[in-house]
């Protein structure tokens, strides 16, 4: 598609998955894109990511699905299992049937692998990435936007704030509002599959549902690693940081008595990080004249549908298409109109899954899980 937009010089704030994807989409379509990233090196956390077909479709459109597919694991089923007995409340096929139904596969990927491929593709498409540059402010002017960084000042046509849940661009646009602690923390880690003893980990995306906790396991890198996310409810988070190194023994103690597959993964783990899971209410607006938000900066969500990065990737596609079709002001309107209802619905569904995965309501919680399994059996049968 030919570039319709006169505003073609873009600064993206943040080289996370959302920022890199939108930079790639725009650069491939004739925009001149620079990314400013506050970190001094390009890297991602050592953890996994589930990439559902909606995200894979965008990677295909932007020409990097082939490169990304070299690093993936293809899970067979999406499962919800009982934390003790291992009974399946839900076992829904992924693999070929998902591809037939949605037109793209369901993948598991190490975040660092996806990040590396996005960075490479951005460089190839001509994106400039400047590290060690923190955005501190912006000012909309008549014919451009001025971006204030810690080390310099820039003038461009448009700014995309893809700077995550603690977004400075969001704060400048809407005022200071700390993210809300959701009362849950996530322990994350990866374990070499060869180090797991005493249980065979199934080749599925599995949620192990238990009272006030759940744990997710799945393979990465063709089966070389097993990724886990262990979520527990807590009344407060005392650390200043939203991410800290966790104590593996404490993690194991929290999940004593869980199914042998869970115990075997935690036994084999030697390092874990602990994350506060934060949220934000729906924002009153996503754009301000020449500045627009994307990804966790505007719709952070609990990871209980594995859709946060997928939503940032979808945002990148829709924003690119809108900027190709319309002048920027109209494009930002269309983007927000299209994306906000969907992102808000997924934020809500992700929150609602807490009750399901954590068996809230005791036996009634278990009944809900059983009903879910029955519904999916009839739906697929």
- Contact positions vs ligand FAD (CB under 6 A): 13-19, 36-39, 49-50, 134-135, 162-164, 168, 186, 188, 229, 275, 295-297, 303, 306-310, 312
Nearer to ligand FAD, 29 or 182 (CB): 182
Q: Catalytic site residue 218?
A: yes
Least Å from the CB of residue 4 to ligand FAD: 26
Could you tell me if 165 and 201 are in contact, meaning their C-beta atoms sit under 8 angstroms apart? no
Least Å from the CB of residue 171 to ligand FAD: 9
C-alpha atoms less than 13 angstroms from C-alpha of 270 in its C-beta half-sphere: 3
Least Å from the CB of residue 85 to ligand FAD: 25
Cα 70 to Cα 55: distance, rounded to the nearest angstrom:
16
Nearest Cα to 183, choosing from 207, 213, 141?
213
- Tokens of residue 33, six digits: 């894109």
Cα distances (Å, whole numbers) of residue 180 to 342, 347, 377 = 21, 13, 37
Nearer to ligand FAD, 82 or 296 (CB): 296
Could you tell me if 61 and 24 are in contact, meaning their C-beta atoms sit under 8 angstroms apart? no
Nearer to ligand FAD, 207 or 369 (CB): 207
Nearer to ligand FAD, 6 or 40 (CB): 40
| Residue 92 CB contacts under 8 Å (≥ 6 apart), including other chains | 77, 78, 79, 376, 380
Give me the catalytic one of 218, 317, 328, 335.
Answer: 218
Residue 4 — φ and ψ, nearest 5°? -90, -25
| Paired residues of 155 in beta bridges | 146
Least Å from the CB of residue 297 to ligand FAD: 6
Find where tokens 């570039």 sit: 3
Cα 258 to Cα 265: distance, rounded to the nearest angstrom:
11
Nearer to ligand FAD, 210 or 303 (CB): 303
Least Å from the CB of residue 49 to ligand FAD: 5
Q: What is the set of active-site residues? A: 218
């Amino acid at each position: 598609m030919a570039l319709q937009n006169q505003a073609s010089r873009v600064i993206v704030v943040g080289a996370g998955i959302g920022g890199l994807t939108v930079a790639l989409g725009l650069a491939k379509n004739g925009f001149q894109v620079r990314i400013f990233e506050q970190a001094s090196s390009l890297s991602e956390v050592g953890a996994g990511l589930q990439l559902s077909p909606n995200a894979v479709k965008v990677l295909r459109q932007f020409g990097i699905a082939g490169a990304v597919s070299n690093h993936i694991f293809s899970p067979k089923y999406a499962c919800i299992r009982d934390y003790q007995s291992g009974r399946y409340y839900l076992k829904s096929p992924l693999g070929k049937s998902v591809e037939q139904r949605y037109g793209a596969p369901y993948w598991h990927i190490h975040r660092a692998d996806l990040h590396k491929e996005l960075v490479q593709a951005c460089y190839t498409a001509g994106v400039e990435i400047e590290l060690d540059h923190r955005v501190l402010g912006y000012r909309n002017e008549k014919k451009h936007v001025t971006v204030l960084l810690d080390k310099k000042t820039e003038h461009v046509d448009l700014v995309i704030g893809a700077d995550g849940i603690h977004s400075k661009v969001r704060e400048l646009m809407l005022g200071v509002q700390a993210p809300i602690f959701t009362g849950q923390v996530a322990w994350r880690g990866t374990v070499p599959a060869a180090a797991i003893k005493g249980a065979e980990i199934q080749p599925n995306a599995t949620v192990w549902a238990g009272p006030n906790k759940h744990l997710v396991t799945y393979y990465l890198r063709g089966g070389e690693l097993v990724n886990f996310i262990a979520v527990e409810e807590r009344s407060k988070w005392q650390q200043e940081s939203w991410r800290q190194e966790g104590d593996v023994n404490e993690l194991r103690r929290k999940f004593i008595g869980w199914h042998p597959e869970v115990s075997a993964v935690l036994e084999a783990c030697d390092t874990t990080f602990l994350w506060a899971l934060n949220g934000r209410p729906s924002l009153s607006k996503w754009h301000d004249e020449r500045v627009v938000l994307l990804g966790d900066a505007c719709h952070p969500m609990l990871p209980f549908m594995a859709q946060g990065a997928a939503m940032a990737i979808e945002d990148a596609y829709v924003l690119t298409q809108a900027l190709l079709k319309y002048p920027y002001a109209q494009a930002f309107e269309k983007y927000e109109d299209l994306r906000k209802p969907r992102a808000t619905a997924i934020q809500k569904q992700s929150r609602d899954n807490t009750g399901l995965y954590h068996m809230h309501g005791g036996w009634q919680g278990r009944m809900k899980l059983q009903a879910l399994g029955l519904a999916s059996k009839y739906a697929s049968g």
